[in-house]
Amino acid sequence: MSRTLKRADAPVRAGRSAPDGRSRRRARARRAGQRPNVLGGLGGFLWLAIIILPIYYIVITSVRPQEGFFSSNQLLPPGDPTLDQYALVLQSDFFLYLANSVLITVVSVVVTVFVSVMAAFVIVRSQTRFVRASFSLFLLGLAIPLQATIIPLFYMLSKAGLYDTLAALILPSIGFAIPLTVLILTNFIRDIPKELFESMTVDGASNWKTLVSLVIPLSRPAIVTVGIYNALNVWNGFLFPLVLTQSPEKRVLPLSLWTFQGEFNVNVPAVLAAVVLSTLPIFVLYVLGRRQLVSGMTAGFSK
């Protein structure tokens, strides 16, 4: 009788030992996952130092006086900081260049996002051959480098009477921003559940109502992402302003920095003060939309 009970208990003990083994392995895996990644932390601090050091140098140099600049230790904070270099830059038509950059960036981004949202909505909701061919045409635009089109653009804008105007900078910026914007928004809108579109259709909503009430609110992270990305590209653009404009009143901030460098070729603090002032607006834009930017970069590509 006792032998029979021992045989009956054997499977139970074996069955109990297996979960205990799995739990021990899980505990070891959790402990291994909680170990600090020393190499990763050191690499992160090294990369942070590489990024912070140029920014630190630009900021402290912009408040350094020009007298004795080359004879002093340029990595140490100045003993007598001054804002004279900023005043010098602001007196050199800086606000005119800033207004041109803001106007070109805002118009380019607004038009690009408006056209791209409607195009992406049609691409997702329509399955006709013409729409598929149009989407392939948008993708083809990603393969055309900007530098390869500068001569044809110069010729066409000159013939159209748009050379040396702000429109000569806005129109090419929109054209080169639309393909990537359509691609990102299309992938994002495809992740919206079809049931939501069907419920809007059952309620009798038109395509425009569906776009405004459903697609745009749910696609806000992607819209903010492409908006900030395109704003950075337009704001930092140098080739278009250099080739397609000529008069000083049509200059934008990147081109004005080049002229500042020629004007203040020995006044390094003034040049770096102009750099700091030109980056402040786009930095504020990033701070305001950083959360939407991160969520938009990590969403829309789950499939």
pLDDT in tens, 95-126: 999 999 999 999 999 999 999 999 999 988 88
CA distances from 223 to 25, 167, 288 (A): 45, 24, 14
| Phi, psi angle pair for 37, to nearest 5° | -90, 90
CA 96 to chain centre: 25
Alpha helix stretches (DSSP H) within the chain = 2-33, 38-62, 84-90, 94-125, 129-141, 150-159, 167-190, 194-202, 207-210, 216-218, 220-235, 239-244, 253-263, 268-298
Residue 71 confidence (pLDDT): 75
Residue 102 confidence (pLDDT): 93
pLDDT, block means (10 residues), the chain with 303 residues: 47 48 63 70 87 89 81 79 87 89 94 93 86 82 85 92 92 92 90 86 85 88 88 90 89 81 68 87 79 59 44
DSSP 8-state code for residue 127: -
Q: State percent of the chain over pLDDT 70.
A: 81
Give dist(CA 242, CA 218) in Å, integer.
Answer: 39
Q: Where are the domains of the chain?
A: 2-85, 87-298
Q: Which fold has domain 87-298?
A: MetI-like fold (1.10.3720)
Q: For residue 278, what are its two tokens?
A: 């030109």
DSSP 8-state code for residue 211: I
Confirm if 233 and 172 have CB atoms less than 8 A apart. Answer: no
